[in-house]
Structure 1
Amino acid sequence: MNNRRDFLKHAGALALGGMLVSNGTVNAFYRKPKYATGLQLFTLFTIIDKDVRGNLAKVASIGYKEVESAFSMKGGYYGMKPKEFAALTREMGLGWKSHHVLGAPVKGLPAGMRTLKDNYQELVDEAAEGGIPYLVCAMSPTGTTAEVKETIDILNKTAEATHKAGIQFAYHNHYHEFELVDGKTPYDIMLAETDPQKMKFELDLCWVTKSGVDPVELFKKHPGRFPLWHVKDLDATKTKPEPVGTGIVDFKRIFAAANTAGMKHFFVEHDMPADPIASISTSFENLQKIIG
């Protein structure tokens, strides 16, 4: 009887394995990770424009599956039109999921850089042309009550346009959005004065940690509003970003709350590392140990 039961169990397993192999889902059934690891290409800002194709090939070879694009000194999308860049990322086996744009002009950034304040419809139209599901405001001034009001107006205006285009709009934080302005934090005002469906948030885990705000508590207070994350670490002095797994950010605890956050995609980022490829390699390796 035992031999018969063992035989039937093995036969059933082999049959299931055969079905999985035949329909191409064996890897998905056994080995597919819960989340695809993405990269914010601003991490490669100092090198990507020199060889866009070559650098994207390196990103893919490390194991990254998705990318979020950002400003390029070559203009456009690393010197390309949206459809051209979309085709290149597909060729590299990378899913282009999101693009960063500026809200209102910020001091110190390159002259002539397009912003949502002045070019929101153009930027939304390009995102739609590229076929990306998310458009993200990378930053916008929030140092005064007037700046907060202007930023909120820009966000709501853009959110309406992205909604009509079938794109999800989001806002990416630094730490200054969590500093009080006339008794309130700009981030709380953004959450309260934008439409929860049309306006989501890309939480930068490094900067929110630097601000002293607990991201898990933020998720609990506003469930489902954080479909995108920037995954980067913070050094022990809380002064500069570091590769993932080399600083103080509690990624295990934060990833355990991913469902509450509504997280769909995350992007590794490291602002201006000395060696971008070494940094993203370290982050990728450590992330596999942290989240599997």
Structure 2
Amino acid sequence: MNYNRRKFIQSAGALALGGLALSGKAGTLLNNLKPGHAVGLQLFTFFGVIDEDVKGTLTKIAGLGYKELESAFSKKGGFYGMSPKDFKATVNDLGMSWTSHHVLGAPFKLPPGSKMPLDADGKPMVIPPLKNLRDNMQELVDSVAEGGVKYLVCANSPTATLDEIKSTIEVLNKTGEAAKKVGIQFAYHNHDMEFHPVDGKVPYDLLLSETDPKNVKMELDLAWAIKGGQNPVEMFKKHPGRFPLWHVKDLDASRENILPVGSGTLDFKPIFAAAASAGMQHFFVEHDMPKDALASITSSIGYLKNTLNV
């Protein structure tokens, strides 16, 4: 089973309580994004792997040419078992920047029959309960500020009912205000579920319209948005400057299986050409639960540099 980030967060978080044309063969990158733009990586790609050898894994990532990192959940807790300052120092020593960090918005209720993802030995993963913005907001904001991170991102939050959407919007606005006070930009990361109507209303539209556009930006996961029936370029036109962060992954034709960037069916050329209208500042390659994370990110950065000329 292709166990993606949303399913993982919903399972793990409960313990604490994509639209465009085919052809991944894009041509030369058009204007709006200069060649040499830093390529980032979302470390959830290495979930279940990085904790075995944090520095060794980061060294391999840096060796491939990745310059920016977005951290995520760790079985060791905290920042891969380190304090914010120690993790920042480790990343910087390898020639990379720690740019962003993911946290849970509010806990999910674990659906009946749901199970945790399996580790390499086929056993359910054991991780610490995830802290969340609803219950631990100031602690999470302060820890990211201690590490000098530019962005704090809500990785996911319940939006299955109008009450859940209202609660999530409240959490996002409060966190955006708290982050602003310490000089951090807050953002929300989507999956495809936010584009499925709830009682006639699209959750993502409500998240955009009912959060402060200055305090709550969006980290657009391009693939999940496309799976949800959206065209990222049109989204940028409707909400210019609202999308400073992107997640970049690829999907097969069924939109069910995640693939390395450039090896699937998504056309990234028009999206990257519209980077200026999006307000994009940083993008992060991500592959949820890949069989071989290193092989996947090697393929992805090769495509971005050699085909898109990033």
TM-score by length of 1: 0.87
Q: Which residue of 1 aligns with 2:262?
A: 245
1:205–1:249: 8 Å Cα contact kept in structure 2?
no
Residues of 2 paired with 1:119 and 1:86: CA distance? 22
Per-residue deviation, 1:291: 2.3
Q: Which has the higher contact order (CA 8 A, sep 6+)?
A: 2
Query: What is the aligned partner in structure 2 of residue 131 from structure 1?
Result: 148
Maintained 8 Å contact 1:223/1:261: yes
The one-letter code sitting in structure 1 at the alignment partner of 2:67 is: K
Q: For the pair shown, which has the larger CA radius of gyration, 1 or 2?
A: 1
Match of 1:207 among 213, 224, 229: 224
Q: Which amino acid aligns with 2:134?
A: K
Q: Is the 8 A contact 2:75 2:128 kept in 1?
A: no
Matching residue within 172, 178, 185 for 1:161:
178
SS in 2 for 1:291: coil
**Are residue 151 (structure 1) and residue 153 (structure 2) matched?**
no
CA distance in 2, matches of 1:253, 1:87: 36
> What is residue 92 of structure 1 aligned with on the other side?
94
Match of 1:57 in 2: 59
Q: Distance in 2 between matches of 1:111 and 1:181?
A: 32
Question: C-alpha distance in 1, partners of 2:36/2:279?
Answer: 14
Aligned length: 261
Deviations 1:10-53 (A, max 9, x none): xxxxxxxxxxxxxxxxxxxxxx8341000000001121000000
Report percent identity of matched pairs.
Answer: 62
**Which residue of structure 2 aligns with residue 217 of structure 1?**
234
Matching residue of 1:80 = 82
Paired with 2:241 and 2:307, the residues of 1 have a C-alpha distance of: 23
Aligned to 2:121: none
Give 2:45's match in structure 1, choosing from 39, 43, 50: 43
Distance (whole Å) between structure 1 residues aligned to residue 86 and residue 282 of structure 2:
23
Structure with more helix by fraction: 1
Q: Give the deviation of 1:56 after TM superposition.
A: 0.2
Aligned position for 2:275: 258
The answer on whether the counterparts of 1:145 and 1:182 sit within 8 Å (CA) in structure 2 is: yes
Q: CA RMSD in A?
A: 1.1
Structure 1: gaps of 5 or more residues: 1-31
Question: Which residue in 2 is equivalent to 1:102?
Answer: 104
Deviations 1:150-192 (A, max 9, x none): 1000000100000111100000000000000111111000000
Deviations 1:257-277 (A, max 9, x none): 000000000000000000000
Q: Is the 8 A contact 2:76 2:128 kept in 1?
A: no
Contact 2:77–2:128 (CA<8 Å) still a contact in 1? Answer: no
* 1:279 and 2:296 matched: yes
Question: Contact conserved, 1:145 with 1:181, CA < 8 A, in 2?
Answer: yes
Which sections of structure 2, spanning at least 5 residues, go unmatched? Answer: 1-33, 117-126
TM-score relative to the length of structure 2: 0.82
Q: Moved runs in structure 1, 4+ residues, more than 6 A?
A: none
